[in-house]
Structure 1
Amino acid sequence: MVRPGESGTAKGDQARAPSHLPVLRRIFRLFFVDGALLWREVHDPAGFVETAVAPESAWGAPASWELFLSTRHPLLAPYGRRFYRAAEAALHALYALGLDLGFVDLAETEEGFSLLAVEAPPGLALSQARLLGRFLRRRYPCRRGENPEAPPPTLGADLELLLERSDGRIVPASRWFPEAGEIGCDRVTVRRRDGRERPVLELRPSPKASPEELVGEVRRLLHDVFRRVPTLGVYAGPGRPGLPTGGHVHVSGVPLTFRLLRQFDRYVALPLALLEPVGGARRPRYGFPGDARAKGHGGFEYRTPASFLTSPDTAYAAFILAYAVARCTDRLPALRAKTAWLTCALLPEEEGALAAEVLAAWRELRPLYIRLFAGTPEAVSRIRAADDLYRRAAWSTREARQDLRELWRGGG
């Protein structure tokens, strides 16, 4: 309330004025190449500059493909978890801008870290250029397209589901299943009066050499779930508000690169996003483009899609497409210019504009896809599965959210 004779504007301005400006502590400059942090420079207000280079043990040997960041990275560990989170956000910014390498500047104040600038393509000093050359020779001694004898990739998955009663209430998976094992529980916990419970069920089929074998393993695990919870519904898709469910594809035998992730985003996640049942709540917190984690088995986990067990046909096509993209990555477009657009387009309010882009993506992939599988016993089923998935995605034929028991009960 403003009394006569007082200035409401002045009083309001004083109320909104900050008590103090954040004090700059340090500026960090990070040099990323294809997801790996190679170099760090720290500037403090007194003018002191400290430079550090990541040891080769932190680059990830070709046998392990350890890309991206961890809290144990030698250039991040001395500055704590908040700095790790800031560096992770910086890496996501590079990816979203369609860049494979670049410098990112971060400012540290008592309030935390903020992104100052991204410089790309970076102007490299001679020592940095030599570091880049050594990294590329070590990480990628032979591109897959130049090595026809390279074995095909191996596929695995972890697939999240919800158990529900007939009235729609969620039943925590931890009441029926252990945390570990091929049928277990996701790490997400909720509080109950009698302690914490894990609501999300997770299928962890063993890795397989072909998509057909992997789908067969998923079917076996689902039938086991149906047998053990005969009175509950089992649901896939993007989950429920507060409990998102994902369909994470594990890939081994091919290096994890920004190029491959962008191809997974366009040729796998994009059509699947247009088939998700309505009402999910994964994005934008989950399911963002380029979401991947290196795994201890030497491969990686692609985490962008929602749980795609909504039908056997969709699951089969998702595994087939991931397998094909992993095998054809060097012959597919790099897609750098598409990354920022796709980051926005995967948000729910923008999905109406994606039908034409889905058709364009299939026109790019289909010739290589057919050539890859031509002459194999599975050629017809694999081509039909992908054709059907892209056709349904182009028409935005969203799948209904229904109990998987009715969809997967046949075939084993």
Structure 2
Amino acid sequence: MNEGLNLFLQLAPEQIMRRLRRCGIEADPGAIGRPARRKDARESHSYSHGQDPASYRQHYRVVIFNLAVLECQPLGAGAAMNAAFLGPVREGGYGGAEIAGHDENSYEGTGARGNSGNSYAGAEIVGHDENSYERTGTRSDSRNSYGGADIAGHDENSNERTGTRSDSGNSYGGAGGGGSEMRGVAGAVRVTAVRALYSLGLDSGEVELRAMGGRRYVVTGITPLMPVPGKPLPEPYRAASRVLARSLALEQPGRAGLLMGMDPEFLLLRESTGRVVPASRYLPMDGVAGCDAGPPGTRGVFPVAELRPAPRGEPRALLAQLMSAAREADRLIADRSLRWRAGGMPLRGWALGGHLHFSGVTLCAPLLRALDNYLALPMLLLEDIRAAARRPRYGVLGDFRRQPHGGFEYRTLPSFLVSPVIAKGAVCLAHLIVSHYEELPLRPLDREKLHAAFYSGDKQPLREAWPPLEAQLRALGGYAAAASYIDPLLRSLAAQQTWDESRDIRGLWCGSAPSVSGTRLGSPEDTFQ
């Protein structure tokens, strides 16, 4: 619990501000050095008071334990608003508080479509530029209305949809409905609070936010949970702590029950025009190879393609399912002139993710921080320089989302479909880390210089921090079994290679039916720059 407490206590207010800003979070410079207001102060301190009455803003107090929201209280609000915020708590992560739109200069579309506005289910959305949007269907310009919802672009596409869907046995939850997160203001408040706490090395405590309008929230106070020796934790932390302890106690050594899935994304590009062709022209909404799904009731194009292999307990079996999903996409996408693009941001404005799903393991902050330091860090060293533009809107450290199947989704990575070599290494490394995260205690990304380097894409200081991490990974008991998959990726790291997001990946996945074996495919230039 709060393994980064010492880090937080050593941060000056200016450093706290910078850390939050890197992660896309605003903070009040006049209040950030003070703790969040106590529970008993909520009735008498409802709003921020400025000289201008128009500056009165609603405040919220969010109580968090192990990155799960226990309470979300509008300070000084009436019964109706309290009920809206204090209803059944759907403990969600913090991916998706904002939705990045795409630049439609490179968008080839079909079907009905509406001009997107600037809000969608509590998220801030950047709209498209409509120049060069080829379409063959009808279009509606009715005040930013798109099938009854205001939308723009995609939220790295997967899992920003409502409800659940079944993809060959895998169930992916959305941000509302049958998913695992609340929508609207309540969801956005929770998302911002958890993300702010995690970015400062914490996982439990209180966060106070001030509404700024336009679905924007400013952090005005943070109080970490600090246990007092000899005294029990106060409620509601005590009850949540007991639940977490029981869950961790049930886990078997090596996590034999671990189940892993994924939904990496890619684009279809018509190279002669430079436009993205919507995946919905070729791929269904469901299935192992599909297109991005929108919220219920929407119509139109769904531009990004996804591979959704059925979850498996062993990395080799999951990779076999991924290869099968790629072959299915190859069969359905009949136009052989289209180029497949993957990575972090293969085209300007089109951020792609390589989201990994886990169940059979208890989500906790040490697990997320192990994934950040031992997986996200080396993947950043391999990424194309263009992928840095994906952060901080996407790809922030510890980006996760709880799922209705009881597990969680790790959302920090870019799309690793850039090559089978990268995908095999990433999947097997992730499985190894989750299986043995208690044996991986190093946290170089806690250091201010390296934290800043991660978000700016400055690879040299991160490269210098990598060798001790690699040594610990190689020393794990399960490394030998996965070495044939992970070693090619580590050799690329040692050679300071990076992948090329301008490459067509279709041939890499489908041209010669790549094998699941760990041997390196083709020559290095097939994968890296």
TM-score relative to the length of structure 2: 0.62
Alignment pair present for 1:390 and 2:490: yes
Which structure has the bigger radius of gyration? 1
TM-superposed deviation, 1:346? 2.4
Counterparts of 1:57-206 in structure 2, within 5 Å, are 58=89, 67-68=92-93, 81-108=184-211, 113-122=217-226, 129-143=234-248, 147-148=252-253, 150-167=255-272, 168-187=274-293, 196-206=300-310
Counterpart in the other structure of 1:323: 431
Would the alpha carbon gap of residues 142 and 25 (structure 1) be closer, same or farther in structure 2, given more than 3 Å must change? closer
Counterpart in the other structure of 2:499: 399
Once the two structures are superposed, residues 135-184 of structure 1 have per-residue CA deviations (whole angstroms, 9 ceiling, x without a partner) of 12113315369733853311111010111224243211111112222111
User: In structure 2, the residue corresponding to 1:264 is in which secondary structure?
Assistant: helix
Alpha-carbon distance between aligned partners in 1 of 2:286 and 2:84, rounded to the nearest angstrom:
40
Check conservation: 1:25, 1:45, Cα contact below 8 A.
Answer: no
Alpha-carbon distance between aligned partners in 1 of 2:393 and 2:66, rounded to the nearest angstrom:
23
Counterpart in the other structure of 2:68: 36
Alpha-carbon distance between aligned partners in 1 of 2:75 and 2:227, rounded to the nearest angstrom:
18
Counterpart in the other structure of 1:9: none
TM-superposed deviation, 1:127? 8.9
Check conservation: 1:24, 1:109, Cα contact below 8 A.
Answer: no
* Unaligned stretches of 5+ residues in structure 1: 1-17, 60-65, 190-194
Counterparts of 1:272-351 in structure 2, within 5 Å, are 272-280=379-387, 281-333=389-441, 335=443, 338=446, 343-351=451-459
Alpha-carbon distance between aligned partners in 1 of 2:417 and 2:359, rounded to the nearest angstrom:
21
Alpha-carbon distance between aligned partners in 2 of 1:123 and 1:51, rounded to the nearest angstrom:
30
TM-superposed deviation, 1:109? 6.3
Once the two structures are superposed, residues 220-246 of structure 1 have per-residue CA deviations (whole angstroms, 9 ceiling, x without a partner) of 221222233333222221131122111
Counterpart in the other structure of 1:271: 378
Instruction: Count residues in correspondence.
Output: 367
Check conservation: 1:98, 1:340, Cα contact below 8 A.
Answer: no
Alignment pair present for 1:245 and 2:348: no
Q: Which letter does structure 2 place at the counterpart of 1:183?
A: A
Alpha-carbon distance between aligned partners in 2 of 1:341 and 1:91, rounded to the nearest angstrom:
23
Would the alpha carbon gap of residues 227 and 45 (structure 1) be closer, same or farther in structure 2, given more than 3 Å must change? closer
Once the two structures are superposed, residues 185-208 of structure 1 have per-residue CA deviations (whole angstroms, 9 ceiling, x without a partner) of 11479xxxxx83222111110001
Alpha-carbon distance between aligned partners in 2 of 1:353 and 1:142, rounded to the nearest angstrom:
37
Would the alpha carbon gap of residues 207 and 341 (structure 1) be closer, same or farther in structure 2, given more than 3 Å must change? farther
Q: Which letter does structure 2 place at the counterpart of 1:163?
A: L
TM-score relative to the length of structure 1: 0.78
Alpha-carbon distance between aligned partners in 2 of 1:349 and 1:149, rounded to the nearest angstrom:
33
Check conservation: 1:42, 1:51, Cα contact below 8 A.
Answer: no
TM-superposed deviation, 1:306? 0.7
Counterpart in the other structure of 1:224: 328
Would the alpha carbon gap of residues 150 and 320 (structure 1) be closer, same or farther in structure 2, given more than 3 Å must change? closer
Q: Select the structure that is richer in helix.
A: 1
Once the two structures are superposed, residues 351-397 of structure 1 have per-residue CA deviations (whole angstroms, 9 ceiling, x without a partner) of 332111222321232212xx1245xxxx2xx2143233234235431
Check conservation: 2:450, 2:462, Cα contact below 8 A.
Answer: no
Alpha-carbon distance between aligned partners in 1 of 2:276 and 2:445, rounded to the nearest angstrom:
42
Alpha-carbon distance between aligned partners in 2 of 1:308 and 1:251, rounded to the nearest angstrom:
17
TM-superposed deviation, 1:110? 6.6
User: In structure 2, the residue corresponding to 1:344 is in which secondary structure?
Assistant: helix
Once the two structures are superposed, residues 36-74 of structure 1 have per-residue CA deviations (whole angstroms, 9 ceiling, x without a partner) of 12234554399xxx999979x748xxxxxx5537778xx
Sequence identity (%) = 32
Check conservation: 1:25, 1:44, Cα contact below 8 A.
Answer: no
User: In structure 2, the residue corresponding to 1:346 is in which secondary structure?
Assistant: helix
User: In structure 1, the residue corresponding to 2:59 is in which secondary structure?
Assistant: strand
Once the two structures are superposed, residues 285-329 of structure 1 have per-residue CA deviations (whole angstroms, 9 ceiling, x without a partner) of 111111111112221111111110111111111111111111112
Counterpart in the other structure of 1:207: 311
